[in-house]
Amino acid sequence: MIIASNRSLAEFNLGKEPEMDQLKAEVQEKSEMGEQLCTRIQELLDEYKTKSAGISPDTTQALLQTAAAESEEQSENIAQDFLSGNIGVDKFLKDFEPIRKTMHIRKFKAEKMAELLRTSSQGYGNGVIKPYLPYPSYGPPQGVPSVPYPMGPLNMPMPGMFGNHF
């Protein structure tokens, strides 16, 4: 009886061997892909460190603000030339739009960087940023008429959560 059970279990296990080999190959493939991605990330991180060596985030923000102001001044000069009749409509449209677009992108990036610098300075003091909770509190839902039963989570333990105490 035990021998037959053992033989049956062995045959079952041998039947699973091709599937197991396939899964091992998939794991190996994914592992190699993960190593390649990790290497690529490390290369990009090294490249980032060399490009940003010695430049603080505050300096980067100031440079962005300066570049945005220069782009704005350049676009204003083009607009002034157009209004005074020094350049035609086609040249104005060709030159003004890309410069103005660049100016807006730089301003947005400078504002976003300022926001990031502000939030990082408002952390816990140890460099950790305060967690953001994307869900509402446990108060009653807003805008729902009063109903005779509770709405929302109740913060009560579920049966079987703490085992049987009886």
For residue 122, the model assigns a pLDDT of: 72
pLDDT of residue 138: 55
Which residue, chain included where needed, has tokens 């204003």?
76
Q: Which of 106, 130, 135 is nearest to 119 (CA)?
A: 130
Is 146 a residue whose pLDDT tops 90? no
pLDDT above 80: residue 98: yes
**Where does residue 82 rank: exposed (0-12), middle (13-18), buried (19+ CB within 10 A)?**
middle
14: which 2 tokens? 């041998």
Instruction: Please name the residue that has the structure tokens 């607009």.
Output: 79
* Distance between first and last Cα of the chain: 42
d(CA 71, CA 53): 26
* CA-closest candidate to residue 108, choices 80, 149, 67, 137: 67
Q: Is the pLDDT of residue 64 over 50?
A: yes
Task: Assess whether pLDDT exceeds 90 at residue 21.
Answer: yes
Question: What CA–CA distance (Å, rounded) separates 3 from 77?
Answer: 94
Q: 119 Cβ partners below 8 Å, 6+ apart? A: 129
User: Quick one: pLDDT band at residue 166, thresholds 50, 70, 90?
Assistant: very low
Residue found under tokens 């102001």: 69
Spatial separation of the C-alpha atoms in residues 105 and 97, rounded to whole Å: 12
For 111-138, the pLDDT digits (tens) are: 999 999 898 877 555 555 555 555 555 5
Provide the residue type at 91 as one letter. K
The pLDDT tens digits for 32-47 are 999 999 999 999 999 9
Lowest mean pLDDT among 46-50, 63-67, 129-133: 129-133
